[in-house]
Structure 1
Amino acid sequence: MSENATSSSSADPRVRLAYERTYLAFERTQMGWVRTALSFISFGFAIAKFFEWVREQHPANGPLLTPRAIGLLMIVCGLAALLLSELQHRRALKVIRKECPGLPPSLAGATAAFIAVLGILALLGVLLRQ
């Protein structure tokens, strides 16, 4: 009896639309995390590059925690947030795809991967530039 109830409820267009709305909510949440991570990465890169330029103009001994270190930390935090959000996003999509298999591929996941590559390049750019 439970198999018939499941079959009939999955054929209901309202149930399908509910799964699609949930899927889109997951996508919006992931894009929110991508924006947050991108902000961390770009602001960290800007801090590191700006204070590197200031140091070239006015060389002096700086404090223990330099602006470059803060910039690197922000880039790493952005990449970590992106990684953790992508893991959560994949786990959520795996659950919803079991119930509703015809959902499209995640564009938010592809965007997160692209931003992660840019973040890694920014991190390498700051690390390799002494």
Structure 2
Amino acid sequence: MNPEARAPAPKTSSELAQFNTDLAIDRTVMAADRSLMAWVRTALSMISFGFTIYKILEGFQHEAAHTIKAEMPRNMGLFLTGLGTAAMGMGTIEYWLRLKQLGQHKPLRVMQPSFVIALIMSAAGLFIFVGITLRVL
């Protein structure tokens, strides 16, 4: 038997405890990523549905020569867009705070792909909401 092919030395209880803690933190980060992506999906649905309602009703108003008064559906589109943007912002902040808390125990990379997507979605939702609001006012 080759002496270099021996099994590695057993880890101490302290090393095993640290290894298990690191794995637990990694699982928690992955769970936070999944939660953030759920926020992104929900917010994207609300923003896109609100924007679609607004654009469809805007088209109906232009075709009907302003005979259709559609304040309620238009306001619903604006509400859904704003709610989706707020949900995206809250989910992003919650994720960032969770990573900050976990970063006290183990160095973590904050710029995870899900976080970058969430930031882009927050900016896009805010842009759409402000755009609709400016056109409504």
Task: Identify whether the pair has TM-score above 0.5, normalized to the shorter chain.
Answer: yes
* Percentage identity across paired residues of the two chains: 33
Q: Aligned partners of 2:56 and 2:128: how far apart in 1?
A: 14
Aligned equivalents of 2:52 and 2:38: distance in 1?
A: 21
Show the counterpart of 1:14.
20
Deviation sequence 1:79-101 (CA, Å, 0-9, x none): 11111112211221111111112
Give ranges in structure 2 of 5+ residues lacking alignment: 1-13
Residue 109 of structure 2, aligned match among 75, 84, 104:
104
- How many residues end up aligned between the 2 structures? 122
CA contact (8 A) 1:19 1:96 kept: yes
The aligned counterpart of 1:39 is 45
Alignment of 1:44-83 (within 5 A): 44-58=50-64, 59-62=66-69, 65-83=71-89
Higher radius of gyration, 1 or 2: 2
Q: Distance in 2 between matches of 1:10 and 1:76?
A: 48
Structure number with the higher helix fraction is 1
| Distance in 2 (alpha carbons) for counterparts of 1:90 and 1:10 | 29
Q: Distance in 2 between matches of 1:9 and 1:92?
A: 25
- Judged with a 3 Å threshold, the aligned counterparts in structure 2 of structure 1 residues 81 and 9 are, in CA distance, closer, same or farther, namely farther
Higher relative contact order (CA 8 A, sep 6+): 1
TM, length-normalised to structure 2: 0.78
Root mean square deviation, CA, Å: 2.1
Give the structure 2 partner of residue 121 of structure 1: 127
TM-score of the pair, normalised by structure 1: 0.82
Structure 1: gaps (5+ residues)? 1-7
Distance 2:28 2:117 in 1: 19
Q: Distance in 1 between matches of 2:106 and 2:15?
A: 11
The aligned residue for residue 5 of structure 2 is none
Taking a change above 3 Å as real, the CA distance of residues 10 and 112 of structure 1, as seen in their structure-2 partners, is farther
